[in-house]
Structure 1
Amino acid sequence: MDKSVISLREEFPGSWADELTVHAEQRLREAEHLYGERDRAWTFIGVQVGSFEKNVTWPIDKKRKLACICLQQLPPGYAWPDFLHFNLAHETIHLLSPPDADQVTYLEEGVAVSFSLSRTYANHNYLGEQVKIFEENPSDKYTVAWKDVDQLVRADPDAIKKLRLQNQSLSAISAAQIVDAVPGIEVAVAERLIRKFPV
């Protein structure tokens, strides 16, 4: 790990997880391959695991463009490694261009869910269990976002990469940009995708 990143971490107390940081960097490279380059003005300084209210990618210092991923620590007995890696993959998408939490759209969250569901996990049943949770909750905000992104990608498998060529931030993409880039997509889907995701 870069010494400058280690020194930056010293400014932000917490439980930094080096192994998970390495995994996040790998997921980020995979996400860039699928969806286009991340905004390199931002520096990813690592993953923290602790007593957080929820999993989040946090622009820890917007002025200096520093970001980290914060993951919840769960009680023993939970499907711990798979839970971490599922949520790590999800949060990695937000590192492509770190948004403020209140600016994230259904498009960005849908891409994050889709990316998490495209990974492989140690417990072969874990992925099926996650899909089942989404399928059994069709009105859940994450399910709605995932299903709408699925429609977008079925209309054009390179849709996300094309959209990010216009705007690196998934949460800054407009409905008009979606319709222009993916002519087969319904306007109603494009309009749902640009809505702000409830925090």
Structure 2
Amino acid sequence: MSSIFISHRTTNGHSWTITSKLGHILRIAEKKYGPRDYTYTILGVELNQDGHPRIWYPGDCKNLVIQISMNCINDIDRAVFQVAHEAIHCLSPTGTNRANVLEEGLANLFSIEYTLANGNGIWTSNDQKYTDASELVKQLLSFDQEIIKKLRLAQPAISSIDKELILKTNSNVPENLAERLTVIF
């Protein structure tokens, strides 16, 4: 049986597990959207039984765990899609599960783009709320592909970016778009 956690020896070293993929995913996310908050320690990836991927903060001590759904155990592509989404939340963790539309939309968009670009197939969210959030982020990025990095220079926590900061960073962004991106998801 194949598993996302079992590495096998290959002629080039070892096969990729979800843990080694996480390292690559984080490097790409940081390159695109700025460095992560290294005051948080990412402990790894684990499976949860309720089917909802998330970030968990065990012990309230700046540790975090990426939880993915059980149906990933034998499906590395599904696991990569879920971990890529959660990796965006690892860039600027807050110790809570409250995110704005910008953060959730960026996470969904990044997971779709990452899986496609890295040979893990075509994946999309089956929840319209995430799709809608991604579309808003695409609109924002159409004004400036580097805007997330620029915003995070002023406010590193994506979920704390507000309408005023978006408008100050790029005056071409419509006020309505900035407002929709900064409400709680």
Kept in 2, the 8 Å contact 1:39–1:97? The answer is: yes
Percent identical pairs in the alignment equals 34
Cα distance change, pair 41–117 in 1 and its aligned pair in 2 (3 A): same
Opposite residue 80 of structure 2, the aligned amino acid is H
Q: Normalized against structure 1, the TM-score is what?
A: 0.77
User: Is 1:191 the equivalent of 2:179?
Assistant: yes
User: Whole-Å Cα distance in 2 between the matches of residues 94 and 123 of structure 1?
Assistant: 20
Using the size of structure 2 for normalisation, the TM-score is: 0.83
The one-letter amino acid of 2:25's match is R
Q: Count matched residues.
A: 171
Aligned-partner Cα distance in 2 for 1:146–1:122: 17
Aligned partner of residue 168 in structure 1, secondary structure: coil
Equivalence for 1:9: none
Q: In structure 1, what is the equivalent of residue 59 of structure 2?
A: 61
Alignment correspondent of 1:109: 104
For 1:123 and 1:152, how far apart are their aligned partners in 2?
24
Q: Does 1:148 align with 2:146?
A: no
Task: Describe the shift of the 1:116–1:123 C-alpha distance in structure 2 as closer, same or farther (beyond 3 A).
Answer: closer
Q: Distance in 2 between matches of 1:179 and 1:26?
A: 32
Q: Deviations over 1:154-181 (max 9, x none)?
A: 1000010001111111000110001111
CA-based RMSD:
2.6
The equivalent residue for 1:11 is none
| CA distance, structure 1, for counterparts of residue 117 and residue 144 of structure 2 | 30
Q: Structure 2, unaligned stretches of length 5 or more?
A: 7-16
Any idea what SS the aligned residue of 1:47 has?
Answer: strand
1:85 alignment counterpart: 80
How far, CA to CA, are the matches of 1:96 and 1:196 in structure 2? 18
Structure 1: where are the runs of 5+ without partners? Answer: 1-15
Partner of 2:67: 70
Aligned equivalents of 2:41 and 2:169: distance in 1? 29
Give SS of 1:57's match. strand
**Cα distance in 1 between the residues matched to 2:119 and 2:88:** 23
| Equivalent residue number for residue 13 of structure 2 | none
Counterpart of 2:147 (choices 159, 163, 188) is 159
Q: 2:50 aligns with which of 41, 49, 52?
A: 52
Contact 2:102 2:137 in 1 (8 A): yes
Give the deviation of 1:38 after TM superposition. Answer: 0.6
Flag the 1:163–1:68 CA change in 2: closer, same or farther, 3 A: same
Name the aligned partner's letter for residue 154 of structure 1: S
Distance in 1 between residues matched to 2:146 and 2:117, nearest whole Å: 28
Quickly say closer, same or farther: Cα 1:75–1:36, change in 2 above 3 A.
closer
Per the alignment, in what secondary structure is the counterpart of residue 114 of structure 2? coil
Change (3 A) 1:39 1:75: closer
1: distance between equivalents of 2:43 and 2:119? 31
